[in-house]
Structure formats: structure tokens, C-alpha cells
Amino acid sequence: MAGVVPGFNAADVRAGLRFAMTVGLPPVLADQPVFFFPRTSTVIGPADEDEVPFDLTKKRTLAPPVTVRVPCAVEYFDNQGKIENFGVIVPSKIEITVLDEEYVQIRGFEYVVIHGNRYWYSRTAPPNGLVSVGVFTIYCTAEDQA
């Protein structure tokens, strides 16, 4: 992803792409993508590999999920991979595009919620590059399709 091009300003390119991604997000914050990370659990005392305590008087505690919001672009697809306008039908797949600096913040997320709909992480494509700016594409599947 690194390259040298005279006059290329990575900060300006990132700022422009982030602006475009932000403009494309829903105007209501509650409808914008929120990335959720796996919850962590804590067990006091000995437990099995699934973190179930051997002492039944002890309980496993689950921490609330960590959430992150980052500027991103989202495209919605039906089962056949055709792009769908948001709001026409509930899409079965989404494609999220983020820049390298935002990808570092969301790498390892479990699912993303957009407008109340949950999409489970499927995979991340190899990154594309814009000289020294990395661009990542992440694929997710709707909860009812997973």
C-alpha cells in the first residue's frame, strides 16, 4: 500500500474520502453503522474450556460489548449479489468500505448494526491502495441469512 507519487497528499485524500463516506451515512446517528466486538467473560475460580465454572455457586460475568463508530461507506445487496436501494427491501448482504486507519479500529468486530439490523462479519478482502492510503472492503451477512 505504500508508494511515492510527487504531490500526493495522503492526509488530504483521507479527509476527502472520509467526508464522502460521512455524507453518505444516514443523517440520524442511531441509524448509522455501529461495530460490536465479542463480549469478554470473567470466571472466578476453576472453569472448563467454555468458561463454565466447576463450582456451581460461582457465576460467569459477561462484560458489555465494546462498540465503535467510524466513517465508512455501505452498499446493500440481495441474495443474488445485486445492489439494492436501502429501504426497498431488507438486504441480505452488505459491503463496507473503510480506510486503513479506521480498519485498525474495527478489525476483529463480530457484527455491525445499521438502522437496527444486525449483519454478521463474513470476511475482509485484501486491501486496495491509493498510493499510501489503504482501502479495505468488509463483507457481512444479515442476521436472518447467516
What's the pLDDT tens digit per position in 63-120? 899 999 999 999 988 776 666 565 546 678 999 999 999 999 999 999 999 999 999 9
The reported pLDDT for the residue numbered 36 is 98
pLDDT band at 56 (very low <50, low <70, confident <90, very high): confident
Which pTM value belongs to this model?
A: 0.83
Q: Is the pLDDT of residue 34 over 90?
A: yes
Please report, rounded to a whole number, the percentage of residues in the chain having pLDDT higher than 90: 58
Q: DSSP state, 126?
A: P
Q: What is the pLDDT of residue 71?
A: 96
Write down the pLDDT at residue 85: 60
Answer whether 45's CB lies under 8 Å from 59's CB.
no
Q: Which three cell numbers stand for residue 87?
A: 429501504
Question: Looking at residue 47, what DSSP letter applies?
Answer: B
What is the rounded average pLDDT for all residues in the chain? 88
Q: How confident is the model at residue 1 (pLDDT cuts 50, 70, 90)?
A: very low
Q: What is the rounded average pLDDT of the residues 17-21?
A: 95
> Rounded distance, CA 127 to CA 136, Å?
5
Contact between 64 and 40 under an 8 Å Cβ cutoff? The reply is no
Domain ranges of the chain: 10-25+32-145
pLDDT score for 125: 97
pLDDT at 141: 95
CATH of domain 10-25+32-145: 2.40.10
